[in-house]
Amino acid sequence: MSDQGERLAGLRVLVVEDVADIREVFAILLRAEGADVEAAASGREATELLGRRDFDVVLTDLGLPDVPGDVLVRQMRASARHRPRIAVITGYGEPYVTRARQAGADIVFTKPVDWSRLLQYLIHPDLAASA
């Protein structure tokens, strides 16, 4: 956790992850850093949340039960009222990483996620985008 207080204060984050334990850990860690977090277990649930609320960042898994992750990224890019940054978190390698980027993901993190890199991206996306 942060020694610097709430580094993500005011940041609205949507976490999309079908594995409940992983989704909960991300939500806990992000809230501990000060983020305002909503969580979704499926692509459909994420799309519904995006239709009702604006988010600054979406952290989404590629391996969702109902919608392929790259399709969800495209849908989010096309339908979000406010254009969020989209960070994909995946256990898959190529060609999935390339497909996520082509779909519009701003950055792709592979599992296991390096928390410090993810946090750096959330705080300073311009510095971490080349990661």
Structural domains of the chain sorted by starting position, each given as residue range(s) with its CATH number in brackets: 12-123 (3.40.50.2300)
Residue-wise pLDDT tens digits, 103-115: 999 999 998 899 9
Instruction: Say whether pLDDT at 81 is over 80.
Output: no
Average pLDDT, stretch 12-30? 96
What does the chain come to in residues?
131
Q: How far apart (Å, rounded) are the C-alpha atoms in residues 80 and 73?
A: 10
Q: How far apart (Å, rounded) are the C-alpha atoms in residues 43 and 113?
A: 21
pTM of the entire structure?
Answer: 0.90
